[in-house]
Amino acid sequence: MSPQSYFLLINSIGGLAVLGSYAAGLGFFPEYRDGLWGGVRGTWKTALTTSMLFATAGYLVFCYFALFRESDYLFRANIFAEIPAVNLLIVIFLSSAALWMPTLITYFLTGNGLWWFLTLISLWITAIALVTLTGIVSSSSHDSIANIDWIAPTI
């Protein structure tokens, strides 16, 4: 299977895991909806929700370019014996993104500090994986100007 096929498979399974964890968390534990926001209310909540929608749209644009436009250069950097770094980072990103809500709800239910720690770790891993992925993507093209050409229209 090609790296692009793995990329599509990883994003399909991982995306369903993230959406499933959100649906389960919000559906089975509606009493924790406000708690999941960590005290954020009003205008800030609206602004963060809007930024999440833009981030999702940006990720979908990235997936399009990874599959159809820049794949020759994007999947060159390998980690651990021929596994493209992009695919490994996306597994890490989506796995940790799928874990933060269940771990936080478990913390709410048990009060056990270990679950709070795991929530924070999963959020940090999500952020670090995306920053690293951004670095790989921005340096993977054969022509750095090409990055500006395909990133600028998505902003």
Quick check: pTM over 0.75?
yes
End-to-end CA distance of the chain: give it in Å, rounded.
Answer: 32
- How many distinct structural domains can be found in the chain? 1
**pLDDT of amino acid 148:** 44
Residue 117 scores a pLDDT above 50: yes
Identify the pLDDT of residue 141.
58
Q: Give the start-end residues of each E strand in 33-129.
A: 78-79, 83-84
DSSP code, position 51: H
Number of H helices, E strands in the chain: 7, 2
User: Could you report the per-residue pLDDT of 97-116, keeping only the tens digit for each?
Assistant: 999 999 999 999 999 999 99
Query: Which residues lie below 8 Å from residue 98, measured CB to CB, with a gap of 6+?
Result: 14, 17, 18, 20, 21
* Structural domain harbouring 98: 3-154
Tens digits of residue pLDDT in 130-152: 998 888 777 765 554 444 444 44
Share of the chain above pLDDT 90, in %: 62
Instruction: Tell me the sheet residues that pair with 98.
Output: none
